[in-house]
Amino acid sequence: MGSSIVQRMATPDPSLDPSRDPRTLTAEEWRQLLTPEEFAILRQSATERPYTGRYNDDPGPGAFHCVGCGNRLYGAEHKFHSGCGWPSFFQAVVPGALEVHRDSSHGMVRTEMRCARCGGHLGHIFDDGPRPTGMRHCVNGYAVLHVPAGSDVAPVFAAHRRARPS
C-alpha cells in the first residue's frame, strides 16, 4: 500500500500526528506509544504465548483496531472462537486493511499479516477457518484494541495510552 493511501486515512489515535506516515516513526517513538508487549509484537514480530493476550473471550460488538496506529482491521462480527489461544477472525473489515507476506521463519512457511497503515506485525493467516472464507486470521491480542460499538475511537485510544505503564 502506497504512502498516498496512508496519508488519506484518518488517524483515530490522538497520540499520532495525522500528517506523519506512522512507518517513519523511530523505535524510540514507538516505545513511547506502546506497552512492552505491544512493542515486541508490532515492531519486533514477537508472538504472545497462547491464552495470555487480550480478547480470547468475546468483548462484544464493535471493531478491532491496530493498537499502533488505529487502523480499523476487523469487525466483531468476523471474530470466532477457534480454540487456538489467540483471537481469530475469518476476514478483515475492509480490503486493504492488511498486508500479507510469506514468512519462512521458525522452520515453517506461513502467511504473515501486518497492518497496512503502520506495518505492525499482527499475526498469521491459516486456511483452516470457518465459512464463508475458510481463513483463520490468528491475531496477537496485544496487537489490537477493541472499540465498543457506538464508541468514538479517539477516546478509547486516549484512555489506553493513559493507562500505559511508564
Catalytic sites, residue numbers:
138
4 to 1, 8, 61, 113, 161: CA distances (angstroms): 8, 6, 31, 21, 27
Task: Map grid coordinates 483463520 to a residue.
Answer: 136
Cell numbers at residue 132, please?
464463508
> CA quadruple 39, 99, 88, 13: dihedral positive or negative?
positive
Residues 136 and 147 sit within 8 Å (Cβ to Cβ): no
Dist. CA 2–CA 56, nearest whole Å: 32
